[in-house]
Amino acid sequence: MQLYHFTSSAHLRGIHKYGLTVGDVVTDLHKPGGRIAVWLTSSPNAFGHGLSWSAIDKTEFRLTVNLSNDDRLEKWLDWALDNVSATAAHCRRRARS
């Protein structure tokens, strides 16, 4: 399975050194913190994923990741039902449209 990860030049050194091991998944817009996870997408296009909300340009680089099927991978919409506040989920949906 081929997936993609979009990132900025500011994050490339850490990714090169440690791999795709850390990421920030916002779960509530009114509380700091979230979950540590790496965002992957099946879309080769950087737009429509909410990346434009970041203070840095996370559309600068597209990394291609080849994976076999893995039970640890979860689709965002399925995972979000039990893990994300309603406000954060609403904003995420708006960013995709």
Its domain, for residue 79, covers: 2-96
* Number of domains the chain is built from: 1
Reading the chain (97 residues) residue by residue, the pLDDT tens digits are 999 999 999 999 999 999 998 877 767 666 666 777 788 999 999 988 878 777 889 999 999 999 888 778 888 778 777 777 766 666 566 655 5
Distance between CA 20 and CA 40 in Å, rounded? 10
Q: What is the 3-state secondary structure (H, E, C) of 16-41?
A: HHHCCCCCEEECCCCCCCEEECCCCE
The pLDDT assigned to 17 comes to 93
pTM for this prediction: 0.75
Distance between CA 34 and CA 26 in Å, rounded? 5
Question: What is the token pair recorded at 39?
Answer: 């965002």
